[in-house]
Chains A and B, each alone.
Chain A
Amino acid sequence: MLIINLLGFVLIGLIIWWFWLYKPDTTAVTKGTVPITVENGVYSPAQVHVQAGEPIILSFVRKDSSPCSAIVQFDDLGLSEELPLNKAREIKFDALTPGKYPFSCQMQMYRGELIVEGPNNE
């Protein structure tokens, strides 16, 4: 019984680590147009790193026909865009200030982040 309880708590620890504490490796800074596929409950890539001060285009292609994924919203930027099925919908961002700009579907099930890095923040 002790082992089972321990296993349970280890599992809880793993959940906390995997979903909350884990910080993915910083991916390379991207420029220009970044294609993002919307499928199977995820945006891929879910994290986009860009340099501050440079315009960027996120090109969303929705391949998931569930209506949940039909809208992508950038809450902090007050922006939302409808994504047609199997078509690219480009969202252009002019030079953003450094910071994290999360984006999600309306129900917060699809989640992603646009990370704008400052000049000193490599």
Chain B
Amino acid sequence: MSSNSPNIEKTLLIDGAGCASCVGKIEGALLEVTGVQKASMNFAQRTVLVTGDVVDHDLIRAVENVGYQASFVDQTDQDLLVEKEKSEAAYYHRLMREMTIALSLGVPLMIYGMFIGEMTVSTNMERIAWAIVGLLTLGIMYFSGRHFYIGAWKSFQNHSANMDTLIALGTGTAWIYSMVVVFAPDAVPLMARHVYFEATAMIIGLIDLGLALEIKARGRTSEAIKRLIGLQPKNARVIRDGEEIDIPIEDVVLDDQLRIRPGEKIPVDGIVIEGSTSVDESMLTGEPMPVEKAAGDEVVAGTINKSGTVIFKATRVGKDTALAQIIEMVKRAQNSKPSIGRLADVISGYFVPVVMIIAILSALAWLNFGPAPAVAFAIVSATTVLIIACPCALGLATPMSVMVGVGKAAEAGVLIRNGEALQTASKISAMILDKTGTITEGSPQVTEIQLTGDHKEEDILRLAASLESGSEHPLALSIVESAKAQGFTLSKVTNFNAIAGHGVEGEVDGSTLLFGNEKLMEERSISINHHIADAQRMASEAQTPMYLAINGQLAAIIAVSDPIKKDSVEAVKRLQANGIRVVMLTGDNRATAKAVAEKVGITEFVAEVLPEDKSNKVEELQAQGEIVGMTGDGINDAPALAQANVGFAIGTGTDVAIESADITLMRGSLHGLADAIAISKATLRNIKQNLFGAFIYNVAGIPFAAGVLYPFFGLLLSPVIAGAAMAFSSLTVVSNANRLRLFKASEH
């Protein structure tokens, strides 16, 4: 604890410093700011390193006052991580050193007390010997336990009490009582002249050990985020003025051209402009298959280029890359707390003073009703109560599990927005799936053209595509794409009119075209009677049939079909196996909806739903008492996603800028849903185990320490055992949270 040397370092980036003489001026201005101890400018880099205990804004103002602009250099996640690990390592070593010193006195003393002699004071020789031990213990309290006493005092001044308070009171009571026995033995009855120096030394040592081990275990809880941060390469090879140079990643700017060779990590987000390759995106999306990339395709920072060499243009750098945003989101989620932890927080808030009161009551009970030597029993029980109580375990129970659970989910390509979403996801009882783009690929293709007049197939496709080129409907797009793929040149459409929910009409190459569903044909009195059976057959095969009429005569039925994602069937099965009611929603016609639902094994579906009705369906299920999860593409479905208890957005690849969802699936597969729910359930189970364990530990431990078992079994807990139990109870919580790391979502 270095309260005297607050060596806070900040790096300021200076703008407008054109001459070397600015250096003195800027440094001088900064040194005048209260709290600044050192300011040294690196003119080449236009940065100033400021050391001291200061407020950021004061620094910026000081620089501005002398006529320059200043801003803070954002530290990269990697730098922050390295610093954090360094400080944690230093803290660990300090605790281990303090532990060794404390136990090197505590252990021999305990062995002496147990096997060799009595820890009592009766002769003068004993008094001198114990006085020396008492002073040695004081040394231990100073060297190994100083932080407890300082912390206790500071929070006392602040009218608050914490873990330090309990440890300081417990060890302090034992030591003071022992010193009274040594220096004023007449103040205590003969039988009670027992010293407890070993308790003080042992408790300090054990708690230091527990804290040290806890740091190690905590380090493992953040492995997932470390792995994500580690994906970010340090350097990038940019092409500037026709030359390839290696530069630090922070210096890459937008529109830089970068070259990536096989086996290298992609440093920033961008669009391929030259070459083709396959990229392993599994670290971000959980998708094991490499993805092919060619000119025009997006590449994402942190993914690994497998086979080819490509040149790409940077489109997002620094904090804007998908990877940086994912890291930020995971970090935030890991630090957030679901409501299940609230009760524990409330309890922890009152915990310490309550324990202090219990300690006093227990001491009074022993003094009033206890056997001789009552005063010794009173001291032992009060000390033990103070030491055994562990609000830390209670407080740690929730955050540690959330940390691991959210990280685990990120590894599976599932981004959880916060702890609350995690908690609600574990309770989902009904899941609404949007058909297009969620169950299916979302990219419909023309699968069948049935001619009903004397037009040729290619004419039909070309005319339909020409007409649809004015429409924005996804099905229209699929027809245009199919025509283009076959090399047709589209004609101009005139008098175009989109008839919402029905189809389109217009004139192409002098013919009047009408293209749409059955209703549209009926309304315009176009005879389709002989072909309804064909259309029904198409629909029953999960294709969407559309009628094309040319000059008032039915010319063809064009069937478009959106292929079902290859693992949708499996994923739906997994959801159902977990007892979740799966409901499919689609704007598509009933027959197609039914066919798709049957193929993936969904019995409950609603067809012909208008986008704005989706959130009504969510409400309907909620009214039936279901906890509803809604899965959609995040754009059209935003109101339904927001209405649902948990909104899941299916990310396309690694586009994570999906704001309306509670949970984002980075790969398109529905397995992400089942994974997300499985991880949430496992995490909540883990939190409950932790909370239960911590709660029971305290509820059972405190009365035991107070001596309630003594009248029946003659059992009274030793303060040393209490110290060990306390030190390891929080370690147990952290270790149990770490168990979650081994959870395999795909098996649930």
Which residue numbers of A lie inside 8 Å of B, CB to CB? 1, 4-5, 8, 11-12, 15-16, 18-20, 22, 24, 32-33, 35, 39-42, 44, 46, 57, 59, 61, 63-68, 70-71, 73, 75, 78, 80-82, 84-88, 90, 104, 106-111
What CA separation (Å) do A63 and B147 show in the bound complex? 13
Nearest B-chain residue to A41, judged by Cβ: B151
Known contacts: A41-B155, A66-B91, A67-B218. The answer to whether A80 contacts B337 by CB under 8 A is yes
CB-contact partner of A67 in B58, B88, B335, B357, under 8 A: B88
Q: How far is the CB of A6 from chain B (nearest CB, A)?
A: 10
Count of A-B contacts with CB under 8 A?
A: 161
17 A–B contacts, CB within 8 A, in A order: A4-B364, A5-B368, A40-B3, A41-B154, A42-B157, A59-B56, A61-B53, A65-B91, A75-B337, A75-B345, A85-B84, A88-B55, A90-B56, A108-B391, A109-B155, A109-B162, A109-B163
By a CB distance below 8 angstroms, the chain A residues around B159 are 18-19, 22, 24
The 9 A-B pairs at the shortest CB distance, nearest first, are namely A107-B395, A41-B151, A109-B162, A80-B335, A108-B348, A40-B154, A65-B91, A19-B353, A106-B399
Given contacts A18-B159, A40-B3, A46-B158, 10 further A-B contacts (CB under 8 A): A5-B367, A8-B360, A8-B363, A15-B357, A41-B163, A61-B6, A107-B348, A107-B392, A110-B162, A111-B160
Nearest B-chain residue to A4, judged by Cβ: B367
Q: Are B356 and A15 in contact (CB under 8 A)?
A: yes
By a CB distance below 8 angstroms, the chain B residues around A35 are 55
Which of A11, A35, A107 has the most chain B CB within a 10 Å cutoff?
Answer: A107
Q: How far is the CB of A29 from chain B (nearest CB, A)?
A: 18
Known contacts: A15-B353, A80-B335, A86-B8. The answer to whether A42 contacts B91 by CB under 8 A is no
By a CB distance below 8 angstroms, the chain B residues around A41 are 151-152, 154-155, 160, 162-164
- B126 interface contact, C-beta 8 A: no
Known contacts: A19-B160, A106-B396. The answer to whether A80 contacts B360 by CB under 8 A is no
Known contacts: A41-B164, A42-B160. The answer to whether A88 contacts B56 by CB under 8 A is yes
Nearest B-chain residue to A81, judged by Cβ: B335
Interface string of B141-160 (1 = CB under 8 A from A): 00000010011111111111
Q: Are A78 and B418 in contact (CB under 8 A)?
A: yes
- B83 interface contact, C-beta 8 A: yes
By a CB distance below 8 angstroms, the chain B residues around A106 are 335, 337, 395-396, 399
By a CB distance below 8 angstroms, the chain A residues around B367 are 1, 4-5
By a CB distance below 8 angstroms, the chain B residues around A12 are 357, 360-361
By a CB distance below 8 angstroms, the chain B residues around A68 are 392
By a CB distance below 8 angstroms, the chain B residues around A66 are 91, 147, 211
- B127 interface contact, C-beta 8 A: no
By a CB distance below 8 angstroms, the chain B residues around A44 are 154, 158
- B25 interface contact, C-beta 8 A: no
- B113 interface contact, C-beta 8 A: no
Q: Are A65 and B9 in contact (CB under 8 A)?
A: no
What CA separation (Å) do A119 and B342 show in the bound complex? 31
Residues in B359-411 with C-beta less than 8 Å from chain A: 360-361, 363-364, 367-368, 391-392, 394-396, 399
Q: How far is the CB of A102 from chain B (nearest CB, A)?
A: 9
Which of B335, B336, B350, B356 has the most chain A CB within a 10 Å cutoff?
Answer: B335
By a CB distance below 8 angstroms, the chain B residues around A84 are 80, 83-84
What CA separation (Å) do A7 and B553 show in the bound complex? 104
CB-contact partner of A87 in B9, B58, B350, under 8 A: B9
- Looking at chain B's contact residues, the main secondary structure is helix
Q: How far is the CB of B381 from chain A (nearest CB, A)?
A: 13
Q: Are B160 and A46 in contact (CB under 8 A)?
A: yes
Q: How far is the CB of A64 from chain B (nearest CB, A)?
A: 7
- B609 interface contact, C-beta 8 A: no
- B7 interface contact, C-beta 8 A: yes
By a CB distance below 8 angstroms, the chain A residues around B1 are 39-40, 63-65
CB-contact partner of A80 in B164, B332, B353, under 8 A: B332
By a CB distance below 8 angstroms, the chain A residues around B364 are 4-5, 8
Interface string of B653-697 (1 = CB under 8 A from A): 000000000000000000000000000000000000000000000
Q: Are A42 and B158 in contact (CB under 8 A)?
A: yes
What CA separation (Å) do A57 and B55 show in the bound complex? 10
Q: Are B87 and A65 in contact (CB under 8 A)?
A: yes
By a CB distance below 8 angstroms, the chain B residues around A57 are 57
Nearest B-chain residue to A40, judged by Cβ: B154
- B10 interface contact, C-beta 8 A: yes
Nearest B-chain residue to A44, judged by Cβ: B158
By a CB distance below 8 angstroms, the chain B residues around A1 are 367-368
Q: Are A108 and B10 in contact (CB under 8 A)?
A: no
Nearest A-chain residue to B8, judged by Cβ: A86
By a CB distance below 8 angstroms, the chain B residues around A109 are 155, 162-164, 348, 391-392, 395
What CA separation (Å) do A88 and B331 show in the bound complex? 18
Q: How far is the CB of A78 from chain B (nearest CB, A)?
A: 7
Q: Are B80 and A108 in contact (CB under 8 A)?
A: no
Q: Are B162 and A63 in contact (CB under 8 A)?
A: no
Interface string of B90-110 (1 = CB under 8 A from A): 110010000000000000000
Interface string of B235-256 (1 = CB under 8 A from A): 0000000000000000000000
Q: Are B331 and A78 in contact (CB under 8 A)?
A: no
Q: How far is the CB of B703 from chain A (nearest CB, A)?
A: 18
What CA separation (Å) do A1 and B155 show in the bound complex? 32
Q: Are A40 and B363 in contact (CB under 8 A)?
A: no
CB-contact partner of B10 in A82, A87, A110, under 8 A: A87
Q: Are B336 and A80 in contact (CB under 8 A)?
A: yes
Nearest B-chain residue to A105, judged by Cβ: B395
By a CB distance below 8 angstroms, the chain B residues around A18 are 156, 159
Q: How far is the CB of B419 from chain A (nearest CB, A)?
A: 9
- B611 interface contact, C-beta 8 A: no
- B495 interface contact, C-beta 8 A: no
Nearest A-chain residue to B418, judged by Cβ: A78
Known contacts: A39-B3, A109-B392, A111-B349. The answer to whether A65 contacts B158 by CB under 8 A is no
